A and B are shown apart, each in its own frame.
Chain A
Amino acid sequence: MLNEKRGLKADFTLITILIIPIAIAVNFIIGSLVLTLKLPLYLDSIGTFLVAILAGPWVGALTGFLSIAINSIADPTLFPFSIIACALGFIVGFMARRKMFTTIGRFIIAGIITAFVAMVMSITISYIFYGGFDTSGNALLLGTMVTAGIPFWPAVVVINFISEVPDKFISLLVPYLVIRGMSERYLHKFSNGSVFIDARKAREEKKKNK
C-alpha cells in the first residue's frame, strides 16, 4: 500500500526535506515567543516533535539536533544539549510509528516516557559537562537550594522534574492536537501518515458497529 516503505532513506522525501528547515524555524520562534510572553517553560521542541510524529525517528533526530546546534551559535553552552534534542526526536518519531499518538491514553504514556528520558538525559549531560551548573535559570535555582542545605541530587531531580515534565507534555500536546485536525489528504504525504489514517478509520468503524 501507500507509504509502506520506511527506513532512513525512504523517510527523507522531498516534503520532509522542505519541512525540516520550517520545523527548526518553528522551534526557534516559539522559543522566542515563550520568552516574550515570559512563560515559565522552554517549548523549544514543538517543531521537532511535529515532524518526528509525522515523518519518523530519523527526521525527528536530525531536526532536533540541528535546531539546538544552530542555537548554540548564540549560546555555545547549549551545544551538548543537542544530543538530548536528537534523542528525543528519535524516540518520539519511533513511538509515533508504533501508534503511540493515536489515542489520548497512549499519548499520556508516550508523554511520560518522553519526559522521563528528557529528565534523565538533561541531568546527565548537565552533570557531565557543567557539574550540574549550566547557564540556564535552573542552575541558579539549584545553587540556591544547595546553599540552603538541600542535598545536591534530590535538588537536581526535583528541579528537572518541574522543568521537564510540563514542558515536554505541552510540547507534545500541541503537535498531537494539530495532527488530529489535519486532513487525511495531507497526512498521506508523510511516512507516518498511514498510522493516523488507519487509526481514524478504525475509530469510525467502531462507532458504526456500536
Chain B
Amino acid sequence: MDCIKVTNLTYQYPTSQQKVLKDISFSVKKGELCAIIGANGSGKTTLCNAVRGFIPGFYKGEMTGEVLVNGINVQKEKMGDLALHIGFVFQNPFTQISGIAKTVYEELAFGLENMGVEPDKIHERIECIMKLTHIDEFRDRDPYQLSGGQQQRVALAAILVMEQEVLVIDEPTSQLDPQSTDDIFEIIWQMKEMGKTIVLVEHKMEQIAEYADHVIVLEKGKVVMDGTPKEVFTDTDILRYHTRLPQCTRIALEMMKERISFSKIPITVEETIRELKKTLEI
C-alpha cells in the first residue's frame, strides 16, 4: 500500500522566478525508509516541507499537483492538525526546542499535551521513548543547556513520542559530530524496525546504502532517479548529479578502472568484502 503518494508536484516560492520543484511524482510504501538525496539546492528540503504540508500554507507561493499521506490530501488538511499524522524533524537542533519547557521531560510532554493525551498515558509514553533514545540521563536538565547532539536527540524523541505513523526527517545530522550522528541514525533505524514510514534527507551515503529501502535522487527540482539503493548507486548516471557515492562503491569503481573485475558493484561494506574475496581468490 502506498503511504505517501506525490503526483505532479510543482512549486514556486512566492518571490522566486524559478520553480523549485518540477513535476515531481513518486510514492513511498507503508513501512518503507525512503532516502532523498541530491546536490545542495536541488529541492530536497522544499520537498520535505511539501510532504509535511508547510507548502504552500506556511511558505505561501504557488503549488500544483497533489500530496497524499495515508490518503489525506496534505494541502487541504489544516496545517496544525497534520501534526497528528506526520512527524517532522529538521537540521538545526537549537531551534527545535519549544522554548517554554524547563526540563527535557517537559519538552517531551509538550507535544502530547497539545494533542490532548491523558496525563497518565503521557508519562508512560515519555518513559518508553526516553529509554529508546537514551536521553533518560538528562531528563531533568534544561533543554537549552544540552549540546547540539543531545538537543537533536531530544528533538527527535519529542517527535517520536507523538507516535505518528509517518516521519519526515530533513538532514538531522548535518550539524552534528560523528558520535552524535551515529546515535541519531541508530534511533532512525529503530523507528524503521517499528514499522514507521520514513522520508529521510541525508548526505551520508554509506548509511543510506545500508538501511534505506528506496532512494530518490533530485536534481534541479526534478526526480532523476528512483529505485532501490542497489539500483541507484550502481547506475553510473548518478555521478552526473553531484551526489557522493558510498565509499565502498567508489573504491570498487576505482578498482574496476584498474581492471580488477567485480561480478556486481557493491554498495555496503559487507558486500565489498564478499566481492573482493571472490575476485582475489580467482
**Cα A189 to Cα B15 with chains together (Å):** 12
Which of chain A's residues 160-194 have a Cβ closer than 8 Å to chain B? 183-185, 188-189
Distance between A206 CB and nearest chain B CB, rounded to angstroms: 19
Residues A188 and B99 in contact, CB atoms below 8 Å apart: no
Q: Is the CB of A185 within 8 A of B99?
A: no
Contact-residue bracket for chain B:
under 10
Across the interface, which residues of A come within 8 angstroms of B16, CB to CB? Answer: 185
The residue on A at minimum CB distance from B99 is A21
Decide if A37 is an interface residue (CB 8 Å cutoff): no
**How many chain-A residues does the 8 Å CB contact rule pick out?**
9
What is the minimal beta-carbon distance from B160 to any residue of chain A, in angstroms? 23
Q: How far is the CA of A184 from the CA of B59 in the complex (A)?
A: 11
On chain B, the residues within 8 Å of A125 by CB distance are none
Name which residue of chain B comes closest to A187, CB basis: B15
Q: Nearest-CB distance from A1 to chain B (Å)?
A: 10
A2 within 8 A of B: yes
Task: State whether B99 touches A2 (Cβ < 8 A).
Answer: no
Shortest CB-to-CB span from A111 to chain B, Å, is: 28
The smallest beta-carbon distance between B79 and chain A, in angstroms, is: 9
A18–B100 Cα distance when bound, in Å, is 11
Residue B138 lies at the interface, judged by CB distance under 8 Å to chain A: no
Q: Is the CB of B99 within 8 A of A184?
A: no
**Cα-based distance from A184 to B58 in the complex (angstroms):** 14
Question: How far apart are B110's CB and chain A's nearest CB, in angstroms?
Answer: 14
* B residues in contact (CB < 8 Å) with A: 13-16, 58-60, 99
Interface residues of A (CB under 8 A from B): 2, 18, 21, 183-185, 188-189, 197
Contact sample, A vs B, 16 pairs, CB 8 Å cutoff: A2-B14, A2-B60, A18-B99, A21-B99, A183-B15, A184-B14, A185-B13, A185-B14, A185-B15, A185-B16, A185-B59, A188-B14, A188-B15, A188-B59, A188-B60, A189-B58
